Amino acid sequence: MSEPSDGLAENDGTQFARLPATAAEREIAGRATREAVLEFWDERYGIDSTVFADYTFWEKGSRKLWAFRGEIDSPIAIESLGITFLRTRQEHWKPTTDAVQRFGRHASRNVLTLSREAARRFVAGEDQEIEWDGDWGYLIVAHDLAGAREPLGVGLYLHGELRSQIPKGRRREL
């Protein structure tokens, strides 16, 4: 049997391991670092790293990242820790719905604010054609609620179409 080509053969999917702070501290090739995660949120969404100051980042499984507010020993063999946060398997990293709903209000870039009707369709899981002059890819999708922008989840915007990434179990008909 051949080894995986991405260098993650040592990654143990039965336990959480804290992300290394920098690439120089990385022990498993290809594993994301805290530095890279913070840079991603800042560059893509304009969320300052200070927002995550009290959070540690963990990997369980192949490139599934979790955020935990606090400190514990690493590695740790438990089922769940904090919130699912980021998928780093592909070239374009994908934030989770949980992460966007928790931290998306701090975003200053790549936030698509929908009308009431478009937001209703989005949370129901519908794809829709939308004009937007911003960047393509994974966006934070929001709606103005009670005078404030409220993040709804993640949308994939490609070629004039917004594809809802709301998980099937969390979709709602409103």
pLDDT digits (tens, 9 = 90+) for 39-61: 999 999 999 999 999 999 999 87
Containing H/E element for 48?
Answer: none
Q: Is residue 48 part of a domain?
A: yes
Same domain, 55 and 131: no
In 102-135, which positions are buried (b, 16+ CB within 10 angstroms) versus exposed (e)?
Answer: bbbbbbeebbbbbeeebbebbbebeeeebeeeee
Q: Measured between alpha carbons, how far is 40 from 24 in angstroms, rounded to an integer?
A: 18
| Mean pLDDT rounded to a whole number for the chain | 89
Same domain, 74 and 36: yes
Whether the predicted pLDDT of 3 surpasses 70: no
Q: Is residue 165 part of a domain?
A: yes
Same domain, 54 and 115: no
Residue pair 70/12 in contact by the 8 Å Cβ criterion: no
Whether the predicted pLDDT of 4 surpasses 50: no
Q: Is residue 100 part of a domain?
A: yes
Name the more confident of 61 and 107: 107
- The dihedral through the CA atoms of 95, 100, 102, 106 has a sign that is positive
Same domain, 115 and 155: yes
Same domain, 117 and 165: yes
pLDDT tens-digit readout, 130-165 = 999 999 999 999 999 999 999 999 999 999 999 999
Which of 88, 104, 120 represents a domain boundary (last residue)?
104
Q: Measured between alpha carbons, how far is 56 from 174 in angstroms, rounded to an integer?
A: 35
83-87 and 64-69 as β-strands: parallel, antiparallel, unpaired? Answer: antiparallel
Domain carrying residue 100? 16-104
Which of 104, 125, 152 represents a domain boundary (last residue)?
104
Question: Which pLDDT value is given to residue 126?
Answer: 97
pLDDT tens-digit readout, 63-97 = 889 999 988 877 777 778 899 999 998 889 999 99
Same domain, 64 and 95: yes
Query: How many domains in the chain?
Result: 2
Same domain, 28 and 89: yes
pTM of the predicted model over 0.85? yes
Same domain, 65 and 138: no
* Confidence tier at 10 by pLDDT (50, 70, 90): low
Peptide bond into 4 cis (omega under 30): no
Residue 145, domain CATH: 2.30.130.60
Which of 87, 104, 121 represents a domain boundary (last residue)?
104
Q: Measured between alpha carbons, how far is 159 from 149 in angstroms, rounded to an integer?
A: 25
